Amino acid sequence: MREWLNDAIFYEIYPQSFCDTNADGIGDFQGIIRKLNYIKDLGCNAIWLNPCFDSPFVDAGYDIRDYYKAAPRYGTNEDLRQLFAEAHKRGMHVILDLVPGHTSDECKWFQESAKAEKNEYTDRYVWTNSVWEGFDGVDQIMGSIRGGTERDGACAANFFNAQPALNYGFANPDPAKSWQQPMDAAGPLATREAIKDVMRFWLGLGCDGFRVDMAGSLVKCDPDQEGTIRLWQDFRAFLDEEFPEAVMVSEWGQPDRSLRAGFHMDFLLHFGPSHYLDLFREEHPYFAREGKGDCRTFFDLYLHNRELTKGKGGLICIPSGNHDMIRMARTLDPEEMKLAFAFLLSMPGVPFIYYGDEIGEKYVVGLNSVEGGYERTGSRSPMAWDNTPNAGFSSAPKELLYIAQDASVREINAAAEAGDPDSLLNAVKELIAVRRANPALMDAGDFRLVELEDHSYPLVYEREQEGQKVLVVLNPSGQEAVMQTALPETAKLIYAQGGMKGKSTFARNADGRCIVPAASAAFYEI
Ligand code: NOJ
């Protein structure tokens, strides 16, 4: 287990939209460096940077043209090295986005692979034997590139059509289709090594690890993902040997598989079986004051996964959001979000905060798609820093901004919130400080669900580590709730939010049971 993960709290940065220092309307590395103190002051000590490599940006940079070159619009490799160094100086870590599943169709690897003449890259991608043969019914292949190549064949595409799929082989190749190569064929093995080289390159320059894009889908025709699991075990062995401090977090959403595959952490996500959306985003999210939500299924699955992964060192991460999800502020208001953060920052695992969520930045409604964002575009608009033009994000003319900002940035911005003791930003800061000050709340602390009925409030759980026990009581609903669990006489309130603010403890009903105020959070040391 990498030591530095023990007290890590990540901040996800979408580089396009964080801070622009050269007035071209798009964020850059120097902008991130300029804002490192803000992130540190918030209490985050690690950063996940979305793809920042040379790309035609058909999919916001998840279509890499050159794995070894920083995208010029953000700066140079040297700027990136400086960013790593500046972060390290502040005791922070930076992980990059590794996109191992596909490249851009403008990548040299693909262009070589598309040549009729056999060469080093011929088997680097998944190709059929004839342009007339497609991928209908082949698992994990979303589209294809057909026609326009000298090579006779169709190339599998992983996400959008401009993202040809790299070849890691097929777990169960169809014997009638000779192009479905086994995982240990020369082409798939060479692809692995090529990606390891990319990892070596950036780790050598000072990055601390990777968030891995679509980690669960690299090996094709792999219904139980056992092939993909074996593949990542090999990557993990490579890291353990050459970069023992480096970490990998997977975009997989199935910790029972990803942690076995060797990932140090896995996200619960808006897709997959986790029921993550029930918390903050469904029509009736559990954290909404209307009080109609239900997170029982979420916890059933969460506990099941914890059981399966217990003691194995992997962490399950519950993010506030990410660049692919509709922002939490679309469904929850700032007061509701304070309770959502009370949950996120008191759960096990490593918290991930999506830039802007700490101030309740809005989802921008009605935007046209930018760089393959589609409905995700509204969650990717520039960070609101203050109430100067463009909310302090950029001094470019407004029309040049990478994505338009919401009108609310005049009130909802980091500077305004820093000066308001009741702001969401200050609530998040306080919660991070409380997490850090209490070992029970940290990543590896034990977790026990104490109270949660179907469609009911409050949610009560216990955390424990290093001899400290903390009881977390959350009642996001707008109605008072009665806690069935007895609160020990000696319990000490160490954090209070919403309806509990200013109170020294819970009031009792006639049976002596605790009354949990509407819309409140309370952490007790017990
Ligand atoms: C997941 C990324 O998070 C998303 O933004 C991207 O479009 C797809 N993978 C394809 O790489």
Model pLDDT for residues 376-400, shown as the tens digit of each residue: 999 999 999 999 999 999 999 999 9
pTM of the model: 0.98
Atom of ligand 1 nearest to the CA of 59: 7
Atom of ligand 1 nearest to the CA of 160: 10
Query: How confident is residue 212, by pLDDT bands cut at 50, 70 and 90?
Result: very high
105-160 pLDDT tens trace = 999 999 999 999 999 999 999 999 999 999 998 888 989 999 999 999 999 999 99
407-454 pLDDT tens trace = 999 999 999 999 999 999 999 999 999 999 999 999 889 999 999 999
Position 1 scores a pLDDT of: 55
Whether 382 contacts 393, CB under 8 Å: yes
The DSSP bridge pattern shows strands 492-498 and 507-508 to be: unpaired
Q: Which amino acid is at 181?
A: Q
Select from 159, 161, 250, 271 the residue to mutate for testing ligand 1; criterion: most ligand atoms less than 8 Å from CB: 159
Distance 213 CA to ligand 1 centre (A): 6
Atom of ligand 1 nearest to the CA of 99: 11
Whether 93 contacts 4, CB under 8 Å: yes
Atom of ligand 1 nearest to the CA of 102: 11
Position 313 scores a pLDDT of: 80
The single residue listed with the structure tokens 């009031």 is: 507
**pLDDT > 90? residue 296:** yes
Position 444 scores a pLDDT of: 85
Position 298 scores a pLDDT of: 97
Q: Give yes or no for residue 62 CB within 6 A of ligand 1.
A: yes
Which residues, listed in sequence order, are joined to residue 10 by a DSSP beta bridge?
46, 352
Q: For residues 453 and 431, what is the distance between their CA atoms, to the nearest angstrom?
A: 26
Q: Give yes or no for residue 324 CB within 6 A of ligand 1.
A: yes
- Both structure tokens of 156: 């599998």
Residues 4-24 have a mean pLDDT of: 97
**pLDDT > 70? residue 258:** yes
Atom 11, ligand 1: which residue's CA is nearest?
62
Position 225 scores a pLDDT of: 97
Atom 3, ligand 1: which residue's CA is nearest?
324
Residues 458-477 have a mean pLDDT of: 97
Q: Give yes or no for residue 214 CB within 6 A of ligand 1.
A: yes
Atom 5, ligand 1: which residue's CA is nearest?
324
Q: 482 by DSSP, 3-state: which?
A: strand
Q: Give yes or no for residue 159 CB within 6 A of ligand 1.
A: yes
Q: Give yes or no for residue 59 CB within 6 A of ligand 1.
A: yes
Whether 410 contacts 431, CB under 8 Å: no
Atom of ligand 1 nearest to the CA of 322: 3
Position 391 scores a pLDDT of: 98
Distance 106 CA to ligand 1 centre (A): 18
Q: What percent of the chain has pLDDT over 90?
A: 95
493-525 pLDDT tens trace = 999 999 999 999 999 999 999 999 999 999 999
Q: For residues 277 and 173, what is the distance between their CA atoms, to the nearest angstrom?
A: 35
Distance 466 CA to ligand 1 centre (A): 39
Count of CB atoms situated within 10 Å of the CB of 516:
26
Q: What is the mean pLDDT of the chain?
A: 97
305-348 pLDDT tens trace = 999 888 778 899 999 999 999 999 999 999 999 999 999 999 99
Query: How confident is residue 3, by pLDDT bands cut at 50, 70 and 90?
Result: confident
Distance 324 CA to ligand 1 centre (A): 7
Distance 263 CA to ligand 1 centre (A): 18
Q: For residues 254 and 18, what is the distance between their CA atoms, to the nearest angstrom?
A: 30
State the chain's maximal CA–CA distance in angstroms.
Answer: 84
HSE of 49, CA atoms in CB hemisphere, 13 A: 28
Position 312 scores a pLDDT of: 79
Q: Is the peptide bond before 458 cis (omega within 30 degrees of 0)?
A: yes
Distance 498 CA to ligand 1 centre (A): 36
Atom of ligand 1 nearest to the CA of 101: 11
Atom of ligand 1 nearest to the CA of 159: 10
Atom 4, ligand 1: which residue's CA is nearest?
324
226-254 pLDDT tens trace = 999 999 999 999 999 999 999 999 999 99
Q: For residues 497 and 495, what is the distance between their CA atoms, to the nearest angstrom?
A: 7
